[in-house]
Copies of this chain bind each other. A is one copy, B any other.
């Protein structure tokens, strides 16, 4: 290790790492670049190092795998659950991915390829195929035996799917209910009706539903309702957190980072933002054109230009408020695409009320400093801008969802640009008619 730390120093660092808790260690690796993260992993005892690796997100894992350059990677990879393995594979170049899969043992290869067979963005892709199988006629004691036998490979044993002879799911057994019922109770007497996911179900909605329901896991079935795996709350949590990060990024007009901020190279931060920024800047040329049309009006009353940022800013803010609220409500399932008219009618009223308050205030202040004419223009413009912006801001996310786009993308950035241009047109038309210029 040319130029690296001495043996003494390594021993000191290892002692220091041994003194850190799991949480602290994961935090440290999430806040440093992947090369240094890989060095830390190398210095940990094998089992601990696998455990820490497991706790990183898949894109971050992939960056660490590349920094490790092959060393130990198979051990980390083999220790992951099938669903986590697939998530990592999705972030690796094909040749590394293929090599890793080849080096797994046969059983692990099989379950990994089952999960790999499902489309990204479906429940099948994030389920665990290793699931205990119990039948309605078994007793609680027999179930316990069955669970004990496979306990190291099952993702969860607390929620157990019950299947008939054709492997069709006919119920779920909560371990808790089974323990309460006693050794001799039959599964059929204790099991509950099963909520199941189909392998092709949309991932985010399913994950949100599972978490909101308080369930620990939900069985996954194929088109014939036959059991193929189980989707657990911790996978669901990872999915939902990823989607929340994406929504938040897109509402701020950038793409989500796939690994922790401080581990992401600066050039990738630039890439996550530049496209949006260019799109928005180019669409903002619309505002230059609108103002160009009204240049003669501006020349006659330069005072009008003083209020441009105030008016466009207020319109943008009102639109963003509505869009943010509706986008989040859509994500949580509180609003659906079919509610579009109800949302519109609510936002018209909200926007009008907000516009009335701001318009009155704007009228009073502008009249005091710039005279009644300007005051009237500013007041009326604010009333109209707020009503239109809130309505459009509330509708855009639903329209986006209807046409199959991400509601968060259509929220803030586009709404700001739209509100800017509309606001300016309203402003100058109002000024021309009120001031007679």
Contact = CB atoms under 8 A, between A and B. Distances in A.
A259 to B, nearest CB: 9
Given A280-B317, A334-B262, A254 B309 contact: no
Interface string A328-357: 110011111001001100100110011001
Given A278-B361, A306-B288, A310-B287, A148 B346 contact: no
Nearest to A157: B176
A328 B249 contact: yes
Given A248-B324, A277-B318, A308 B308 contact: yes
Contact of A329 (B241, B261, B278, B287): B261
Number of copies: 2
Contacts of A316: 316, 416
A323 B176 CA distance: 45
B302 A298 contact: yes
A230 to B, nearest CB: 14
B324 A249 contact: yes
Interface residues of A, number: 112
A372 interface: no
Contacts of A209: 23
Interface stretch (A11-19, A70-78, A94-102, A211-219): A211-219
A274 B144 contact: no
A308 B309 contact: yes
A189 interface: no
A254 B361 contact: no
A202 interface: no
A437 B429 CA distance: 30
Interface string A275-308: 0111011001101100110010011001101111
A286 to B, nearest CB: 9
A304 B334 CA distance: 46
A38 interface: no
A36 interface: no
A83 interface: no
A1 interface: no
Interface string A165-202: 00000000001100110100000000000010000000
Interface majority SS (helix, strand, loop, mixed), chain A: helix
A284 B237 contact: no
Given A233-B233, A346-B269, A354 B291 contact: no
Given A335-B261, A350-B270, A254 B324 contact: yes
A307 B288 CA distance: 6
Nearest to A292: B306
Given A148-B180, A361-B281, A248 B248 contact: yes
A335 B262 CA distance: 7
Given A31-B334, A321-B277, A309 B424 contact: yes
Interface string A128-141: 00000000000000
Nearest to A154: B176
Nearest to A295: B302
Contacts of A266: 346, 349-350, 353
B308 A274 contact: no
Interface in A239-271: 241, 244-245, 247-249, 251-254, 257, 260-262, 266-267, 269-270
A288 B23 CA distance: 50
Interface string A200-244: 000000000101111010000000000000000110010001001
A420 B254 contact: no
A30 interface: yes
Nearest to A309: B287
A49 interface: no
A312 interface: yes
19 contacts: A23-B213, A55-B213, A144-B179, A157-B179, A211-B234, A244-B244, A249-B325, A253-B320, A254-B321, A254-B325, A261-B329, A269-B325, A273-B354, A274-B357, A278-B357, A281-B358, A287-B309, A305-B305, A313-B417
- Cβ-closest 7 pairs across A and B: A252-B324, A260-B334, A261-B329, A287-B309, A305-B305, A291-B306, A254-B321
